């Protein structure tokens, strides 16, 4: 796989300087204050996979909300009280179905929808995942214990500094009578990245 002409460290330094320049410009133009930026940063750092699971569980039970989420994720997040800063990278929600399975990666560094589901897991940032998933996605899935039917198309979606992706996992069978709160417990961080599936009700009951 091509290295795009940058190392991981070089990219981190570039994006760090870019963020600092954007912050300085926003303050200079009077768009916000340093306190505003720090407050929003603290809010984003407080986010966790549980927040994303609540959003996606709501999409499972409300078809109209799911349509809005897939069409305009940021607006749909706001409906549930999750506001993103204006300078935040665009987040798109992709739905996994019986025919298509999406997996998210950032091949250059570790771009991740942390404004909704918090910090990325350590393995997401490792070169072994970032390089292998684009050439052998089914092999990576198997490493996470996820085996898909050969008829299912696997798509690897590459994140960037400007675009992040959140996966809406396929709703498991046998969950028709579960509450939204119960459904949220089936949605794991791995399933929101796409390396895993949502848990079955039996798996949650056994844990």
109: annotated active-site residue: yes
Spot the catalytic one: 7, 111, 205, 207.
111
Spot the catalytic one: 106, 159, 200, 207.
106
* HSE (side-chain half, CA atoms, 13 Å) at 4: 12
- Residue 163 vs residues 10, 111, 142: alpha-carbon distances, Å: 19, 8, 27
106: annotated active-site residue: yes
Q: Hey, what's the torsion of the CAs at 57, 55, 53, 128, to 10 degrees?
A: 120
**Structure tokens, 191:** 């399933």
Cβ atoms of 94 and 167 closer than 8 Å: yes
Residue 82's CB: how many other CB atoms inside 10 A? 18
Spot the catalytic one: 109, 128, 131, 160.
109
Spot the catalytic one: 16, 48, 110, 200.
110
- Residue 94 vs residues 20, 108, 129, 158: alpha-carbon distances, Å: 30, 21, 20, 12
**Structure tokens, 59:** 């999409």
32: annotated active-site residue: no
110: annotated active-site residue: yes
- Catalytic positions, written as ranges: 106, 109-111
């Amino acid at each position: 796989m091509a290295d795009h002409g940058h190392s991981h460290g070089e990219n981190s330094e570039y994006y760090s300087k870019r963020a600092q320049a954007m912050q300085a410009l926003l303050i200079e133009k009077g768009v916000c204050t340093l306190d505003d930026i720090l407050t929003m940063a603290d809010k984003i750092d407080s986010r966790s996979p549980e927040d994303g699971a609540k959003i996606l569980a709501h999409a499972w039970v409300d078809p109209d909300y799911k349509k809005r989420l897939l069409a305009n994720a940021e607006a749909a997040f706001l409906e549930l009280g999750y506001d993103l800063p204006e300078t935040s990278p665009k987040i798109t929600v992709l739905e996994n179905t019986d025919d298509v399975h999406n997996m998210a990666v950032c091949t250059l560094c570790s771009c991740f929808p942390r404004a909704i589901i918090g910090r990325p897991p350590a393995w997401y940032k490792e070169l072994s995942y970032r390089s292998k998933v684009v050439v052998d996605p089914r092999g990576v899935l198997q490493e996470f214990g996820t085996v898909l039917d050969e008829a299912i198309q696997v798509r690897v979606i590459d994140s960037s500094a400007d675009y992040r992706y959140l996966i809406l996992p396929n709703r498991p069978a046998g969950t028709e009578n579960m509450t939204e709160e119960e459904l949220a417990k089936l949605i794991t961080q791995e399933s929101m990245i796409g390396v895993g599936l949502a848990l079955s009700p039996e798996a949650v009951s056994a844990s």
